[in-house]
Structures are given as C-alpha cells and as structure tokens.
Structure 1
Amino acid sequence: MSDSAIAQHQPSDKEVRLVIAASSAGTIFEWYDFFIYGTLAALIGAAFFPSDNETLQTLLVWAGFAVGFGFRPLGAILFGFLGDRLGRKYTFLVTVTLMGIATAGVGLIPSAASIGIAAPIIVIGLRILQGLALGGEYGGAAIYVAEHAPPEKRGFYTSFIQASVVGGFVLSIIVVLLCRSLIPPDDFAAWGWRVPFLVSIILLVISLWMRLKLSESPVFKAMKEAGETAHNPFVESFTYPGNKKRIFVALFGVTGVLTTIWYTAFFSGMSFLRGPMRMDDQLVEIVLLIAGTISMSFYLLVGKWSDRVGRRKPIIIGALASLALLFPVFWGMGSLANPGLARSSAEAPVVVEGAECTYDPFAEKQSTQCGRMLADLTALGVSYSIDRNACGPLDECAAGAWSIGDQTYIYDGLDDAQRKADVKAKLEAAGYDFADQTPPLGSIIGIIGLLCVLGMLSALTYGSVAALLSEMFPPRIRYSSMSIPYHIGAGYLGGFLPLIASYIVATTGNAYSGLWYTWVVVAFGVVIAWWGLPSGPPRDFADSHDDPPVSPAMP
C-alpha cells in the first residue's frame, strides 16, 4: 500500500475534528455504559446479589463486573476480524449499539426479590454482551482516529480517546449525582438507581447520530482499493513476522501496566474511600468527579508530549513512579479520609486468636465462630491480625477469642445479629467510629490532590497508548492485532482487579493489602516494556527498522 494511495484519501482539518469529536463522544458514552455498573455497585448488590454475608455480596457484584471484562477478548477477536475485513466505521457502529441496548437492559431487570436466581443470571448475560461490545469499541475508535491523524500529531489526537475513557467514568458519576439530587434517597435506593442505566438509550441515539456522519478510515480505503485487506486477520495476527513478540509486549508491557493503574486509581480509590474509610457515598462521588475531570487533561498533555519524546518514555516513567507512590498515596488518602480509624487501629489493635481460625469470603456462612468473627471485622472494615499461638483452651478457640488492645473477649451462642451488634459495640467502646465520615475541607482538597496524582500516573501509562499500539502493528491486521492483547490485558489483569483486590483485603484484614496485586503486575510489566518497546521518536509501522514493511503479497 503506497503513501500516495493513502494521501488521496487524506481528510481535511474539519473532517479530522469531526472524527475526534464523534469517536471521543462515542467512547465516552460506551464507557459510561460499562462503568455505571461499578459506580452503583452497592445498590446493584442489594438488588441482584443479596446475601447475609456483606463481603460475599460485594464480591459477587465485582465478579459480575469481572465477567464483562472476561468476554472482552472474545469481542476483540470478533470485531477485530470485522474491522480488518469490513472497515473501521461500521464495526464500531455495531459495538456502540450493542453496548447501549445491553446497558439499558440492566435497568429493566426485576430484582432478585421478585424473580429469584433469574435476576443475577440475566445481569451476567447482559454484562457478557457489554464485554463483547467493549472488546470491539476501543480498538475501532483508537485506530480510526490514528489513521486520520497526521503522524506528527498522532499522539495528541488519539489522546482524546484515552481521556474519553475517564470521561465515561466522570459522566457516570455526574448522572448518578443528578439522579440523587432529584430523587429522594429511599426512592433512589428502591428504583431510582435504574434511571442512569436507562439514560444510555439517549446516549446511544446521540452517538449513532454523530458516528453516522463519519466516512471510512483513509488507510482502510486505500487498502481496500488496492486489494490488500487481510483474508483472516485473526490468523495473520499470530503468523505475521515479529507479531508474536509485539502482541506479548502489548499485553504485559503496555496493557497490563496501564489497566491495573487505571482501575486502582478510580475503582479501587472509590471502593477504598466508601468502604474501610467510611466516607459519605455522595461526597466520594463528588471527590472522584472533581479528580477525574482534572485528570482528563493529563491524558492530552501526555499524548502531545509523546509526539516529541516517543511513546516508551512516558510509560516507563509512569510505571516506575507508580511502584514508588502507590502505597504512600493510599496511606495519605486513608489518613485524610478517616484519621480516627488509623489512630484507633494503632491504640487499640484487634487480634483474633485461633490455630484453626480461617475465613472464606465466598461462603454464605462461616463454619466456625472464629471465622464469623473475622467476617464481622471484615464487614466493619476493621483491620485485624491473627495470633495462632496465643489461643487458650480449645473451647475458647472454637468460640472465637479476640482482643482489643489489652481487653480480651470470647463469644459463643449468639445469633448473627446479636454477634455483629456486640462486636460493633465493643469496638466503639474502644474508640472505633463507624459513622459516615465527612472530612474537613482541607482534607477533602488533599484527597482530591492525591487522586489527581493517581490520575497523572494513569495518564503517563495510558495517554499515548492508542498511538503506540496503532504504530506497533501493520495496517492490514491492525484492528485485530492491537485489540486482542489490549482486551486480554484489560479484561483479565484489569477487569478482575476489584474482585482480586477485595478478596485479598477480606482474607488479610488489611485495607491496603489489595494494592499488592497492582504492584506486582506493574513491576512485571515495566520489565517487559523496558525490553520490548521501541525507544526514540514515534515511527509508523512501515518506517520501523526492526519490523518488515507491509507486503501486499503476504497471504
């Protein structure tokens, strides 16, 4: 495919602006559809995954969240094939339609109290459709913008797609806050939470209207006229010379890094402040709205910067900075959001005694009293340690011996409600505060600042990625080749992060222990990125010195 063939199809500046606006808006709407589930996780749990075990209910919600991500790679294969065979434009028209319909469907499902087990099953089915749609959306939008952009501005232009992912998260919070302000709290908990899901129908209409105005990518037009489109993009993605290495690097060195940092910054940040830090739900949403809106600009700055310094440098800097700052940033947010909790944990630490004391977060009811003790502490968000050598008589171990500071307690024969109330009362007597927290203004500003630090770390590892992945793969199989590793990484390494991190926190009793998952994935990823990403100024695939140019004769 010659440069002159592509040049014949080059869009005007006005068309490029329309491409960026329509692609970014569609991406915002589609990620809004996907993220509204996480933003309303607590209410979704009560409606579709009710359980006496609060931790299990939370884990089931995040498991449903993860299911959607788990099907993203299949969507990438399916829509990547269509995008490389039929075109970029029509493929992401299909993906945004599928996403809008599936999201609205969640808002129409009767609760588990009405239809029983059918409710969560239908929710999971719709999450699967959302995952399939999202698997085709990002690659299509990113490539579409990249193939319209001049090479010297590709990082900046595609950074609008990266910022749009955060935009979808911000939009989900805006809609939830508006609904909360217009609907009384009891009504919002009963039925009002469904409104944000139904809003996706309006967003779908707007997105389709904008995207139907677009023409096909100039690169795809040129390939189609020259008869150079791939016969089987999926197979060629793994047989094209050098592509296996590029897919491996894209999966672990790029996507694994960016996706775990992104979800830690926004979803783990939200769960951390709402859960163990007990900040008021609406205040958490406002804080994340402000931090997310500010952070969107970081992606544009990084994308523009990468056009000068290359794509590798921002990713390496962001990953290394994340390893150094991840725990300190969350420690700082914890001390600002709920300083009393840290003080109580230091002055009156909770120790549970029992050689056989174990806790299964996925069990509806724990098999031992000691396990129920741990379940109660986990539900309250209280950190604990287990002393397996300090247990007294066997009957005390079975009953669950525990201490707050120097005071030791044993309970047995209480029903669940009595036991939970008793544990909570004893902790409150020792200085623990379980009321919703509303930190002073200075602390709120500090929390927003720390969330913006996480936003900057995400921007460094994500802002230039659409341009990077477009440049890493040959045009004839670009949609498939970049979508497959991106959505495997984002679907499994990132999508399962809330579930895995919540499980780690539940089993360790430490509100910060879930961050180790992110730290390990990023540490491995930065090694792969250092080894596999090209250094120096950005280059088109055909200009790469390490990779063969696209050959029209290749089968």
Structure 2
Amino acid sequence: MKDNIDNTQIDTNGIEKEDITVVDPQMARKAVFAAGVGNAMEWFDFGIYSYLAVTMGKVFFPNMTGTSQLVYTFATFAIAFLVRPFGGMFFGMLGDRLGRKKVLSITLIIMALATLSIGLIPSYDSIGVTATVLLLIARLVQGFSTGGEYSGAMTFIAESTADKKRGFMSSGLEVGTLVGYIAGAGLVTLLTFIIGDEKMLAWGWRIPFLIAAPIGFIGLYLRAHLEETPAFKAMEEEQAEERDHVSMKDIFLYHRKSLLIAVAIVMFYNIVYYMVLSYMPSHLSAVLGYGDTKGLLLILIVMFIMIPIVLAMGYFSDRIGIKRILIAALIGLLVLSIPAFKLIGNGNNLLVFSGLMILAVLLAAFQGTMPSLLPSLFFTDVRYGSLAITYNISASLFGGTTPLIISWLIKETSNRTMPAFYMMAACLIGIIVVALFVEETSGKALRGSPPAVEGKSEVHEAYKESKDEIWWEEEKQEIERKMEESPQ
C-alpha cells in the first residue's frame, strides 16, 4: 500500500518523499500469512514423496532391494528438478509481466492436481513399467510448478513488507515450508503407526497424495484475496506508458553478477536443506536401520523445534545483519558436520537427536535469512524471473540431486559420514561467496525500489538517509549504460 506524503518535493538526484512506500502492517501480515500458508500447502504436496521414499521404492521399483532401491527412488525424486528451471523461466518471466499474485495462484493449482494424480497411479505389480512412467510424468509436472512457486513467494513477501522488518517477516515463508513438511511427515508417520507397514505398502501410501487437491484449494482461496505487492504496483505506475518488458536475454546479459551470486548461495542452501529435511528420514531407516516410524518421528520433532529458531534468525538478521548470521552458520557446519553425523550414527536415541539438532539449528539460520536475502539481489523489473531462473537451476543441479548423490556415495564407499563431507565442501564455497560478493541489505530498500516504511512517522528518517542517492542507484546506472551501449 503506497500513501502520498504531503511534503514539498525536493529536487535531488535521489528520491522524493512522495516516492517512499508506506506499508500497511496489517496488509503485510496478511501477505506473509497467505504466502506462507500457500507455500505450506505446496511443500506438503512436494514433501510427502520424500517421506514415503522407502515405501514408494517398494511400490514402483520392486525388483530392486536395499540401497539400490533407494537410489532409484531418489532418482525419481531428482528428475522433477530437471524441469524446475523451465518452470522457473516460464512462471518467473510471467510474474514480472502479469504480477506476482496471479502466477502464485496458478502454480498452486498445478501442484495440487499433479500430486493428486500420483495417488491414483496403479502399482508396478498391476501395470508394470507403465506405473513408473506415469510416476515420472507426475513428478515432472510437480517440478514445473515448483519452479515458479518458491521464488514467487519469496518475491511477494519481500516486496510487501517494510525494509526494517523484511528479515523477520520473510522468515515466515520458511515457517510455512516447515509446517508443510511437518504435515506431510506427521501424516505419513500417523498412517504408518495406525495401519502398519504392510497396509501402508498395499494402499496406505496413496492417502497423503489423495488429500492434496482440497488442501491446495485452501491455499488458492487465501492467495486469491491478496493485493499485488506495493513494489510491483509502483513499478507499473512509474513505467505505465514507456515500459518495455525485460527479456531473458537482457537478464543474462546485464544482471550476470547477481545471477552467479544467487546460484552459489542457493547451491549451499539447497544441499543442506535437502540433506536434512528430505534425505535424512531415508538415511535413518535404509542406511542406519531405524524403523520407518522412528526415523520420521525424530525428524518431525526436530522440525517443530526449528520453527521458533527460524523466526529468531529472521528477527536477528534485521538487527545484526544477514551476512554475519550466514557466515557463522557456514563455519558452524564446516566444523560440526562430521561430529553431527557421528552422533546420528551412534544408535543412542538421545545422541541421534542431538546430531540432528546440530544440523537443524544451522539450517534454520539459512531458512531465517534466505527469503529476504535472495530477492534483494535483483531489481524489481527482473526480480521474479531472475530469482526463479537462478534458484531453480541451482536447486536442480545441487538440491534435488543431493539425496541421489549421497545414496550413491554411501553405496559405493560404505562410508556413512559421506553426507558430512559433501556438505562441508558446499559450505566452504558458501563462505567465500558470502564474505566477498554479498552486500549487506538488512534494513535497506530492495534493489530498484524506494525505501519501504511501516508508518508515515518513519518517512522523514528514511528520506534523510537516502535523499542524496539510494544505495542501488550507481549499480542501476551502470546497467542502463551497458544497455545503451549494447547493439540492438
């Protein structure tokens, strides 16, 4: 929501007071809630496959056994990530043209229907290899939808909140992700406990997929009643007459540095993310020999505890800065990954839980900061598209393949600490990128937007801080200069 401030305009090279966006706190909270709930629905749909990985392997790959069966199951998991970049390109560019709200509604519908279809596929025993092919098609549709979902939700929340609270408010998106995963894990755990492994394998695995459609339409209802983000509306008003849509070619030509930084950040984030939340339940059961219910229950408890930690990380990022939190978490993983996996492989319930919590707390530091950091890397007119492209390319290369690669490494080496080494390598790269190439943006305006404040009383202070030149102006001028010099 943008209010006009009744002050005399001052001729400066920076902004004028009437340009400052005054965000309605109630609308901002509504945006966070709706995006977070929709994201929870989306990741419930996407996450239940992870938590049913062992069962799905038996249903669709019955000729395989042990870790080989798990490798094939996670190959099916990873294949959805192959189309995520294409979904990101399609929905991202569409979101920069039509708006964030419309595209987020479309992605939610597609995901709900694709997940529902998985629950309707006959087993391998019924129709043979056709069942596996149908599963792959449904997973590809899920991946295409997810390509536009998470980056769009990040963009929507970041553009709907005041600068000084962007870290805390954006962390609500990851709370939604955890709630979705918790709902998926909780449902699978409860079903397994009630009906037992045998009935779960026969027909119980279908239930989580079959309830996806009604859950998805709840999220759709919430998103349909949102307003477009203030940043996007302001850009449309400013460029109403002469606006030319930025092409994908322009993004790769003139925003290359931000693209590369985002790819590297998403790389280490996704490796840790999918290691802890997607791969770990199967590691506990298939590799370490825990029962399916016990492994899922441990992860479920860990995720519940992570929720307040994620919010705390978002809160402190607004006060001490995103970079400090990220670098501390990366160093923590570099030092503690091996001890954590040693504890997880110990067999003692308390020690296993302690090892999981070490990884979970450090992952929570990423989850509390990424939803505000990543959108700040790009200008408003290319934010959704650029973020969708980079996030999904990196997630496809490094995130979705993590369970598959780790399963294969353990199978080939018989070393149960291989996940720790893989994670440490990613975090070492992350430390270099964050320390040298990421600018601190906590409390600052988003690239391409004037400052966003929570009330009219804050306008004067925001104006004083940016009246000469807003922080991204020089970077914007350099991009415009390159575009003018480039042959058409």
Q: What band does the TM-score fall into relative to the shorter chain?
A: 0.7 to 0.9
CA contact 1:109–1:122 (8 Å) conserved in 2: yes
Instruction: Decide which of 450, 456, 480 is 2:361's aligned counterpart.
Output: 456
- Shift of residue 14, structure 1, vs aligned partner: 2.0
Tell me which amino acid in the other structure corresponds to 1:263.
Y
Instruction: Decide which of 183, 187, 192 is 1:180's aligned counterpart.
Output: 192
1:262 alignment partner in structure 2: 273
1:430 alignment partner in structure 2: none
Quick one: structure 1 residues 78 and 536, their matched pair in 2 at CA, closer, same or farther if it must change by over 3 Å? closer
Tell me which amino acid in the other structure corresponds to 2:128.
G
1:109 alignment partner in structure 2: 121
CA contact 1:77–1:484 (8 Å) conserved in 2: yes
Please give the residue correspondences for 1:363-378 in structure 2 after superposition, counting only pairs within 5 Å. none
Instruction: Decide which of 53, 60, 63 is 1:41's aligned counterpart.
Output: 53
- Structure 1 unmatched ranges of 5 or more: 338-442
Quick one: structure 1 residues 531 and 11, their matched pair in 2 at CA, closer, same or farther if it must change by over 3 Å? closer
- Shift of residue 516, structure 1, vs aligned partner: 2.3
Quick one: structure 1 residues 92 and 549, their matched pair in 2 at CA, closer, same or farther if it must change by over 3 Å? farther
CA contact 1:155–1:303 (8 Å) conserved in 2: yes
Give the TM-score normalised by structure 1: 0.76
What is the alpha-carbon distance in structure 1 between the residues aligned to residue 41 and residue 188 of structure 2?
14
CA contact 2:93–2:384 (8 Å) conserved in 1: yes
Question: Structure 1 residues 84-93 or 230-239, which shifts more?
Answer: 230-239
Quick one: structure 1 residues 450 and 476, their matched pair in 2 at CA, closer, same or farther if it must change by over 3 Å? same
- Shift of residue 184, structure 1, vs aligned partner: 4.5
- Once the two structures are superposed, residues 83-137 of structure 1 have per-residue CA deviations (whole angstroms, 9 ceiling, x without a partner) of 0000000001000111110011110000111111111111111111111111100
**Is 1:491 aligned to 2:396, yes or no?**
yes
Instruction: Decide which of 202, 225, 236 is 2:250's aligned counterpart.
Output: 236
CA contact 2:95–2:385 (8 Å) conserved in 1: yes
1:544 alignment partner in structure 2: 471
What is the alpha-carbon distance in structure 2 between the residues aligned to residue 211 and residue 6 of structure 1?
27
What is the alpha-carbon distance in structure 2 between the residues aligned to residue 211 and residue 232 of structure 1?
26
- Once the two structures are superposed, residues 298-342 of structure 1 have per-residue CA deviations (whole angstroms, 9 ceiling, x without a partner) of 11111111111222111111111111111110101111x2xxxxx
**Higher Cα radius of gyration:** 1
Quick one: structure 1 residues 13 and 507, their matched pair in 2 at CA, closer, same or farther if it must change by over 3 Å? same
CA contact 1:19–1:214 (8 Å) conserved in 2: yes
- Shift of residue 63, structure 1, vs aligned partner: 0.4
4+ residue runs over 4 A deviation: 1-8, 549-555
What is the alpha-carbon distance in structure 2 between the residues aligned to residue 233 and residue 193 of structure 1?
43
SS in 2 for 1:539: coil
- Shift of residue 233, structure 1, vs aligned partner: 4.1
Quick one: structure 1 residues 48 and 475, their matched pair in 2 at CA, closer, same or farther if it must change by over 3 Å? same
Q: CA RMSD in A?
A: 2.2
Question: Structure 1 residues 243-252 or 159-168, which shifts more?
Answer: 159-168
2:9 alignment partner in structure 1: none
1:465 alignment partner in structure 2: 370
1:60 alignment partner in structure 2: 72
Give the TM-score normalised by structure 2: 0.86
**Is 1:89 aligned to 2:101, yes or no?**
yes
What is the alpha-carbon distance in structure 1 between the residues aligned to residue 367 and residue 276 of structure 2?
12
Quick one: structure 1 residues 197 and 6, their matched pair in 2 at CA, closer, same or farther if it must change by over 3 Å? farther
1:444 alignment partner in structure 2: 349
SS in 2 for 1:51: coil
Tell me which amino acid in the other structure corresponds to 2:248.
F
Percentage identity across paired residues of the two chains: 31
2:425 alignment partner in structure 1: 520
SS in 2 for 1:547: helix
1:413 alignment partner in structure 2: none
Quick one: structure 1 residues 96 and 307, their matched pair in 2 at CA, closer, same or farther if it must change by over 3 Å? same
What is the alpha-carbon distance in structure 2 between the residues aligned to residue 161 and residue 315 of structure 1?
18
What is the alpha-carbon distance in structure 1 between the residues aligned to residue 139 and residue 434 of structure 2?
31
What is the alpha-carbon distance in structure 1 between the residues aligned to residue 404 and residue 420 of structure 2?
12
Between the two proteins, the alignment pairs up a number of residues equal to 445
2:405 alignment partner in structure 1: 500
- Structure 2 unmatched ranges of 5 or more: 1-13, 449-469
SS in 2 for 1:231: coil
